[in-house]
């Protein structure tokens, strides 16, 4: 039986959901699965039957200013961050010696190079290579994302060129899966989604959702239109204090299993996290993407959805107004999805790579 140790970033829920999608497939291969995580990941993975054992490490945060990502404050806290990485690396050494895994899979958990001393294959689940490619491709980039790109995303890209032995890079578009001949270390796969997510069935009466990040930098739910014609599920957020009830708007709070809700919606307002976008894109759900401010990867992710013709780029101030625009042109977005060849086996192919290394 193959033992696989997953290291999962717990800042939001995207990394946890993405890795869980792979874990679901690996469980069918009778692999023994362990998870090391922090923050939201501890809540998500607690008591999941697929996991043999769950371990906790300290969380690493972005620096913040006015509730937005601040690269200046992130750089100021670099000494503290290095101390956290050192402490986490020491704890990870103990866990590895205890479990003796055959493979280590990491999704945005960073370690010192000393982890390679164990001689255990390390696989990174990371698409910084795709972010770099599209950042270079897209024009008219907002100045607000430049610092985060050069000081975070590019460092992430270089880190993954050095530490992991192999990288699984999920992609929206099938053309990107094929276009990878120059990076032998990187194995690109299709969108990674959970079991039981279903393709959207077209219908006239449309129900929407607002599903914004649960991290500290997630955009606020601030609905002002009293005459909103669409029923909306607010997924992942609790009802604000002093909220005046509006017909058709339901707050579902923070829930582990939102699949039934996703399978019942026709459009979605969503932040630019790759995991959430992957499931919506795979299910062929038109969307309004609201990148977290100052976050280059989320902006690049959003631009890919717009480039594919499957959604609109929005912001915190205008996303409610864009709901009407999206629905006015809804058939156009549906037709664009019809022309795409979406890879349906991203999670399965990722699991095969891991189990066969």
Does one domain contain both 246 and 169?
no
Residues 6 or more apart whose CB falls under 8 angstroms from that of 252 comprise: 233, 234, 235, 236, 258, 261
**pLDDT per residue as tens digits for the range 130-153:** 999 999 999 999 999 999 999 999
**For residue 287, is it within any domain?**
yes
Global confidence as pTM: 0.92
pLDDT score of 79: 73
The span from the CA of 239 to the CA of 221, in Å, is 9
pLDDT score of 198: 98
pLDDT for 69 beyond 90:
no
**For residue 130, is it within any domain?**
yes
Tell me the percentage of the chain whose pLDDT exceeds 70.
Answer: 92
What is the Cα gyration radius of the chain? 20
Cβ 343 vs Cβ 174: under 8 Å? yes
Does one domain contain both 323 and 350?
no
The span from the CA of 50 to the CA of 200, in Å, is 27
**For residue 239, is it within any domain?**
yes
pLDDT score of 58: 84
Does one domain contain both 153 and 237?
no
SS3 228: coil
Helix (H) or strand (E) holding 207: strand 207-211
* pLDDT, averaged across the chain: 91
pLDDT score of 244: 78
pLDDT score of 183: 75
Confidence grade of residue 326 (pLDDT, cut at 50, 70, 90): very high
CATH number at residue 292: 3.40.50.2000
Does one domain contain both 159 and 10?
yes
- Classify burial at 183, counting beta carbons within 10 Å of its beta carbon; exposed 0-12, middle 13-18, buried 19 or more: middle
pLDDT score of 195: 97
pLDDT for 62 beyond 80:
no
**pLDDT per residue as tens digits for the range 90-143:** 999 999 999 999 999 999 998 888 899 999 999 999 999 999 999 999 999 999
**For residue 301, is it within any domain?**
yes
Neighbours of 339 (CB within 10 A): 8
pLDDT for 328 beyond 80:
yes
pLDDT score of 127: 94
**For residue 350, is it within any domain?**
yes
pLDDT score of 219: 67
Provide the H-helix boundaries in 192-266: 259-262
pLDDT for 66 beyond 90:
no
**pLDDT per residue as tens digits for the range 213-255:** 755 556 677 787 777 789 999 998 888 887 777 888 999 998 9
Cβ 310 vs Cβ 337: under 8 Å? yes
Does one domain contain both 10 and 134?
yes
Domain count, the chain: 2
pLDDT score of 285: 98
Does one domain contain both 303 and 348?
no
Neighbours of 87 (CB within 10 A): 12
Does one domain contain both 179 and 212?
no
**Among the ranges given (11-20, 59-68, 275-284), the one the predictor scored with the smallest mean pLDDT:** 59-68
pLDDT score of 201: 96
Cβ 71 vs Cβ 63: under 8 Å? yes
Alpha-carbon dihedral angle through residues 190, 196, 199, 204, given to the nearest 10 degrees: -150
The span from the CA of 299 to the CA of 139, in Å, is 12
Does one domain contain both 14 and 151?
yes
**For residue 34, is it within any domain?**
yes
Does one domain contain both 152 and 7?
yes
Does one domain contain both 147 and 244?
no
**For residue 198, is it within any domain?**
no
Does one domain contain both 56 and 130?
yes
Q: What does the DSSP 8-state code read for residue 319? A: H
Tell me the percentage of the chain whose pLDDT exceeds 90.
Answer: 75
pLDDT score of 112: 81
Confidence grade of residue 297 (pLDDT, cut at 50, 70, 90): very high
The span from the CA of 199 to the CA of 98, in Å, is 42
219: containing domain: 207-339
**For residue 200, is it within any domain?**
no
Does one domain contain both 334 and 351?
no
Q: Which of 301, 267, 354 is nearest to 21 (CA)?
A: 354
């Amino acid at each position: 039986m193959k033992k696989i140790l997953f290291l999962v970033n717990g800042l939001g829920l995207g990394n946890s959901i993405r890795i869980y999608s792979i874990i679901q497939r690996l469980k069918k291969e009778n692999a023994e699965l362990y998870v090391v995580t922090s923050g939201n990941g501890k809540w998500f993975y607690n008591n999941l039957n697929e996991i043999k054992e769950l371990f906790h490490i300290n969380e690493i945060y972005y620096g913040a200013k006015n509730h937005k990502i601040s690269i200046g404050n992130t750089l100021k806290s670099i000494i503290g961050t290095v101390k956290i990485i050192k402490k986490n690396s020491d704890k990870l050494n103990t866990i590895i010696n205890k479990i003796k895994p055959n493979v280590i899979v990491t999704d945005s958990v960073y370690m010192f190079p000393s982890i390679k001393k164990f001689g255990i294959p390390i696989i990174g689940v990371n698409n910084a290579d795709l972010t770099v490619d599209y950042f270079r491709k897209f024009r008219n980039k907002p100045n607000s994302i430049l610092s985060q790109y050069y000081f975070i995303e590019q460092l992430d890209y270089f880190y993954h060129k050095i530490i992991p032995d192999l990288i699984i890079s999920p992609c929206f578009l099938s053309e990107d899966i094929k276009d990878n001949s120059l990076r032998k270390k990187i194995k690109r796969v299709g969108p990674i989604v959970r079991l039981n997510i279903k393709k959207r069935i077209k219908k006239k009466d449309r129900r929407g959702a607002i599903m914004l990040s649960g991290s500290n930098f997630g955009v606020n739910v601030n609905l002002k239109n009293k005459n909103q014609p669409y029923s909306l599920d607010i997924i992942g957020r609790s009802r604000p204090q002093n909220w005046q009830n509006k017909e058709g708007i339901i707050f579902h709070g923070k829930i582990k299993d939102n699949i039934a809700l996703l399978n019942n919606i026709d459009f979605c307002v969503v932040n630019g996290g790759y995991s959430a976008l992957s499931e919506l894109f795979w299910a062929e759900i038109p969307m309004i993407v609201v990148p977290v401010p100052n976050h280059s990867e989320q902006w690049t992710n959003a631009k890919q959805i717009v480039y594919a013709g499957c959604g609109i780029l929005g912001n915190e101030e205008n996303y409610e107004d864009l709901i009407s625009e999206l629905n006015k042109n809804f058939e156009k977005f549906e037709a664009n999805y019809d022309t795409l060849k979406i890879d349906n086996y991203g999670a399965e192919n990722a699991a095969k790579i891991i189990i066969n290394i």
